[in-house]
Structure 1
Amino acid sequence: MTTTGTTANAGASTAPRRVVAGPRGWPFLGSLPRFGKDPLSFFEQLRNRGDLVHWRFGRTTSLFVADPECIGELLAHTEHTFDQPDLGVAFRTLLGNGVVVAKGKDWRRKRSLVQPSVRPSQVRSYAATMAACAVALADSWTEGQRIDVKREMSALTQRIAVRTIFGVDTAADADAIGRAMEVAQHEIGAEFSGIGALLPDWVPTPGRARIKKATAVIDAEVGRIVARHRAGDTDRPDLLSRLLAAQDESGTRLTDREIRDETVTLYIGGHETTSSTLVWAWHLLSANPRVREALTDELDRVLGDRTPGFDDYAQLTYTQAVVKETLRLYPTIWLLTGVAKQGASLGGRTIPPGTRIWTSQWATHRDPRWFRDPHEFRPERWMDGAEEIPEYAWFPFGGGPRACLGTRFALVESALILAALSHHHTLTVHPRTLTPLPGLTLQAAGEVEGTVRRRK
């Protein structure tokens, strides 16, 4: 399968890239009101102005980056000439100082401890759980049943997450953490795109109170599960047991607080992102019968009557392409941001220290320069030789040294669930027009209803 047809540096010009002016904005607020009202449309408008666009987020000098070559520079040089920004009190309240937030030596230590838990060999061991949970859901569906697609996909990925990450399988664990995570995600999105983004940490707001309450529920659940693991056998295949046993070069293990931060981070990556991707995939398949038929043809050919497993993943090339094309049109992580340090540059142009750098998967993934008919759902574009797609024109999991550790987990999980459910059922989503809601992840707004039909 072709993921890139050219490299980020192909055809690079020796002349520095031109920085163009963005919207003038308001005093003190800058363009925050326009960004907060519709951030996806706002970033598309900036992209249409140029590859490097100057704007203001509040009083912070900001630069929007649309070109894949410059995006690659930004991601490759994070931890060197670009730094992780402070994403606000709501974000820190939920994620603490996990590997997504940590910097410098602390980040390198945590990454080295977490990474072995999500290596391909470990993902293989989780694949059976992914498929088994999906088959159990499929077996519970009846002909003509109307379902809440968001709820069904959320419950499924929650169950997989609590099994693979925490090593437990009770409804109470999944429900308590899931409800709290839903509140936390909403409040992070609301603060990040609203006036809360400009308020000092000490200013109390109703949203901050809600996320603290939700985080307390998450902390209590994770703390209880960690205590259960410590009191019992930690030599088990779940992610939490591997984190509890991990040691750095000095023989030091992760503290309870660090364990909490990393498990919450992994939970979001293993549950929220996959759940959202699947909802969008059903939406797109419902509106494109040709693609659905090509998908089921592959499943019939590769699987026969078998349940999909890890060894089938490599053969399900069209299924993988459906997942990739879904992530192109509806990237779960829709925004990345950094801060320029001394010596930073993009596209041959020096970037002043302190400049806030922004790039959006949503805007770049829909750029007609990199994708033919960018608004069309066309999984074939990811098949070998179909289109030449520059590196970092598609980056749903980021890239560079801080690329998402759970990328492999998420791609395998999405494909195996889609295969298991589509092999024997047709799920039609209605209405076929869904509104994307950007928060911590990109969700479909409102309820998403669907009808299940058994394939003959």
Structure 2
Amino acid sequence: MTTDTPVTTTVPAPAPVRGPRGLPLIGSIPAFARDPLGFFERLRDHGDLVRWRLGPQRSVFVSRPEHIGELLTGVETVFRHPELGWAFKLVLGDGVVTSEGPAWRRKRALVQPAVRPRQVRSYAETMTESAAALAESLRPGQRVDVRREMLALTQRIAVRTLFGADTAGREEVIGAAMDTAQRAIGDEFRGLTLFLPPWVPTPGRRKLKAAVEVIDAEVGRVTEQRRRSGEDRDDLLSRLLAARDAEDLPLTDKEIRDEAVTLYIGGHETTGTTLTWAWYLLSRSPEARARLTEELTRVLGGRDPGYDDLKALTWTDQVVKETLRLFPPVWLMTAIAKEGSTLGGRPVPEGTVVWASQWSAQRDPRWFPDPDSFRPERWDADAAHPVLDHAWFPFGGGARACLGARFATVEAVLVLATLAQRFHFAVDPGDIPPRTGLTLQPGRPVRATLRPA
């Protein structure tokens, strides 16, 4: 697991080496856009600290866990949060992910109680019930699009845990608008629209604006309905409505909207994609699947899992961890150096964009023997090669670590345990390459035949 405490750098940073020269003015934009994952693996091969340019931006790429730890724990102090694209900002507003400084600290303190372990426990039943309902609708021998099923499932869980029953009959409307928003963010990140001014119209931006109008209307409707009722329910919206800051001030309706959308995206797309990759990997590893079946039979004996089973579902948890290592939904992070910033004791010029890639670091053979192989046993308590701090960081780390990490992990384990007791997803043969966007998604449909477990 990653830690949130500063890491002592035991390996001094070498002088930054020069990476790819790139092209005049645009630097390495074409290479980055064409194959981001391969690009960062090639940067890693240059050295531990690599200088390069993305357009006009002066950049440094880091690949050692010690330096990644400094970056993760230094955001908000040594480094600042980067500017995000127009689509990202339009969708997430001024939520905890996009805010900085005092505004970020206030919002994090208000939102964090909603996703603490005690609260996540209360959402576990919804996660399991939703997965069991999906299982009841499936039949052995049925052909399924795995990603579509997993995203639909995590969408239902996200809507129910956020808004309870207030969105009954409206889940598809909210989900379709959210899907449009997430695609627009991913398209912006991959393409040159990231550098287009906000006033430049594109077809994608027009669709996004329409989707955001739907999101705003739906969240506003549910929030107003809940305020009028005064009812305190066991969902995330009630926690957000009840939150008070140090001055006993609540979140405004706009702030509730921004945090609800942030939590929705964090709890839907990332977990659904993780589960899709998990079925793909298990389908190609009979040994791992057999060990999963043995654990589920021993621990659950045919009943559905609950929150109290998590400690005993160690292999299931390791399957999720190893999936997050090989296919991290969030595959890239950046921060911008402030005045006086350093990495490994070496100064980093103010304004430099510092990059770290979960994809690259988590497949680095220095930290993970046989890095491209699916080996959940590498997470055994007595593993021969313990995972170094900050060599695995799918949820980031430090003060800006993902608030929904516990929610996402619990959801993935409970859904996997619920479905794997009933079915084996026999994914069609052939490798499935990843595609970069807002999350690391399968590059083609993941189709499978359901077999009895």
Which among 298, 302, 307 is matched to residue 301 of structure 1? Answer: 298
Q: Does the alignment pair 1:312 with 2:309?
A: yes
- Aligned counterpart, 2:368: 371
Which among 275, 278, 281 is matched to residue 275 of structure 2? Answer: 278
- 1:203-282 → structure 2 map (5 Å cutoff): 203-282=200-279
Which among 97, 108, 111 is matched to residue 108 of structure 2? Answer: 111
> 1:204/1:11 Cα in 2 relative to 1: closer, same or farther (>3 Å)?
closer
Output the CA distance in 1 between the equivalents of 2:416 and 2:105: 34
CA apart distance, 1:108: 0.5
> 1:307/1:18 Cα in 2 relative to 1: closer, same or farther (>3 Å)?
same
CA apart distance, 1:199: 1.9
Q: Does the alignment pair 1:351 with 2:348?
A: yes
Output the CA distance in 2 between the equivalents of 1:94 and 1:445: 24
User: Paired residues, what number?
Assistant: 451
Output the CA distance in 2 between the equivalents of 1:94 and 1:335: 19
- 1:325-340 → structure 2 map (5 Å cutoff): 325-340=322-337
- 1:378-393 → structure 2 map (5 Å cutoff): 378-386=375-383, 387-393=385-391
Q: Does the alignment pair 1:449 with 2:447?
A: yes
The two structures have a TM-score, normalised by structure 1, of 0.96
> 1:27/1:205 Cα in 2 relative to 1: closer, same or farther (>3 Å)?
farther
Conserved? CA contact 1:183–1:211, under 8 Å: yes
Conserved? CA contact 2:142–2:450, under 8 Å: yes
Conserved? CA contact 2:7–2:70, under 8 Å: no
Conserved? CA contact 2:13–2:48, under 8 Å: no
- Aligned counterpart, 2:399: 401
SS of the aligned residue for 1:417 comes to: helix
Q: State the Cα deviation string for residues 161-201 of structure 1 (Å, max 9, x = none).
A: 11111112756432122222222222212222222122222
The one-letter code matched in structure 1 to 2:235 is: D
SS of the aligned residue for 2:52 comes to: strand
The one-letter code matched in structure 2 to 1:130 is: M
Output the CA distance in 2 between the equivalents of 1:234 and 1:357: 46
Conserved? CA contact 1:162–1:173, under 8 Å: no
Conserved? CA contact 1:117–1:243, under 8 Å: yes
CA apart distance, 1:343: 1.4
Output the CA distance in 1 between the equivalents of 2:276 and 2:72: 28
Q: Say which is worse superposed, 81-90 or 442-451, in terms of deviation.
A: 442-451
SS of the aligned residue for 2:50 comes to: strand
Output the CA distance in 1 between the equivalents of 2:433 and 2:218: 32
Q: Say which is worse superposed, 134-143 or 322-331, in terms of deviation.
A: 134-143
- Aligned counterpart, 1:149: 146
Q: Say which is worse superposed, 201-210 or 361-370, in terms of deviation.
A: 201-210
The one-letter code matched in structure 2 to 1:421 is: L
Cα RMSD (Å) of the superposition?
Answer: 1.6
Could you tell me the percent identity over the aligned residues? 58
CA apart distance, 1:10: 6.6
Which among 77, 84, 88 is matched to residue 87 of structure 1? Answer: 84
Output the CA distance in 2 between the equivalents of 1:173 and 1:38: 38
Output the CA distance in 2 between the equivalents of 1:10 and 1:164: 39
Conserved? CA contact 1:398–1:404, under 8 Å: yes
Contiguous gaps of at least 5 residues in structure 1: none
Conserved? CA contact 1:321–1:380, under 8 Å: yes
Output the CA distance in 2 between the equivalents of 1:294 and 1:183: 38
Q: State the Cα deviation string for residues 226-260 of structure 1 (Å, max 9, x = none).
A: 12211213311100111011111111111111111
CA apart distance, 1:328: 0.2
Q: Does the alignment pair 1:75 with 2:59?
A: no
Output the CA distance in 2 between the equivalents of 1:163 and 1:405: 19
CA apart distance, 1:211: 1.8
